[in-house]
């Protein structure tokens, strides 16, 4: 039958502003989390990861925050640029999964110049 795509949550920001993308994960046993960026026509690209023994990790212009109490993950992008426009996915796994990633619903980030 015909497949219907889900409408992705969309975040629209002005160039130069900070962006915050949120993700609720499902498995309380998950202990490793990753953010991926996916541009149109490309595969997901690793951005940053965090282990469950941390609550914050910083990269270049990006910060990931983890709140295990409410099973929430966020990605903060500082000084958002047009090149940041993409769909962002969070993914979770744990040491028993041997690399099997469970992806959340993506968020489409649109940066206005």
Partner 1 sequence: EAGVVQSPRYKIIEKKQPVAFWCNPISGHNTLYWYLQNLGQGPELLIRYENEEAVDDSQLPKDRFSAERLKGVDSTLKIQPAELGDSAVYLCASSRYSGLSTDTQYFGPGTRLTVL
Binding residues for partner 1, per CB under 8 A? 1-8, 32, 34, 36, 41-46, 49, 51, 89, 91, 93-101, 103-106
Strands 56-58 and 45-51: unpaired
Nearer to partner 1, 12 or 15 (CB): 12
Nearer to partner 1, 65 or 108 (CB): 108
Contact predicate 33/97, CB 8 Å: no
Q: How far is the CB of 15 from partner 1 (least distance, A)?
A: 25
Q: Which residue has the tokens 């202990």?
A: 31
Q: How far is the CB of 48 from partner 1 (least distance, A)?
A: 11
Q: How far is the CB of 113 from partner 1 (least distance, A)?
A: 25
Nearer to partner 1, 18 or 28 (CB): 28
């Amino acid at each position: 039958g015909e497949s219907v795509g889900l409408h992705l949550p969309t975040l629209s920001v002005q160039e130069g502003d900070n962006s915050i993308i949120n993700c609720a994960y499902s498995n309380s046993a998950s202990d490793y989390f990753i953010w991926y960026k996916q541009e149109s026509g490309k595969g997901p690209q690793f951005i940053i990861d965090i282990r469950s023994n941390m609550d914050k990790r910083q990269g270049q212009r990006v910060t990931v925050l983890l709140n295990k109490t409410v099973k929430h993950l966020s990605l903060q992008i500082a000084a958002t640029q047009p090149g940041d426009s993409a769909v962002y996915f969070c993914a979770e796994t744990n040491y028993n999964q041997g690399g099997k990633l469970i992806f959340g619903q993506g968020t489409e980030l649109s940066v206005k110049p």
